[in-house]
């Protein structure tokens, strides 16, 4: 079976400063890199994002992994 690299990006709602360490910890639990995108203007100027590359067989597997990671992220890593 050929595996294809899929790059996954999950953006969350803005987080208060005291929650950023938790976000980083959950990203690391998922084998992902935490990113904090800061925009110059707009209603929301902070966009926390999880980023990772996974070798998977197809798009369906990538979507399933993204959904599972999103659920884990929402749960706070529990």
pLDDT for residue 43:
79
Hey, what are 9's tokens? 């990006």
Instruction: Give the pLDDT of the chain (78 residues) as one tens digit per residue.
Output: 799 999 999 999 888 889 999 999 999 999 999 999 988 887 777 889 999 999 999 999 999 999 999 999 988 876
| Spans of all domains in the chain | 4-75
pLDDT for residue 42:
77
Quote the pTM value: 0.85
Rounded Cα gap, residues 11 and 34, in angstroms: 10
């Amino acid at each position: 079976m050929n595996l294809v690299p899929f790059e996954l990006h999950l953006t969350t709602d803005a987080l208060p400063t005291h929650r950023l360490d938790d976000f980083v910890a959950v990203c690391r639990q998922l084998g992902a890199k935490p990113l904090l995108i800061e925009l110059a203007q707009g209603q929301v100027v902070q966009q926390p994002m999880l980023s990772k590359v996974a070798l998977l067989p197809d798009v369906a597997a990538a979507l399933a992994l993204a959904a599972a990671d999103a659920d884990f992220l929402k749960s706070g890593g529990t």
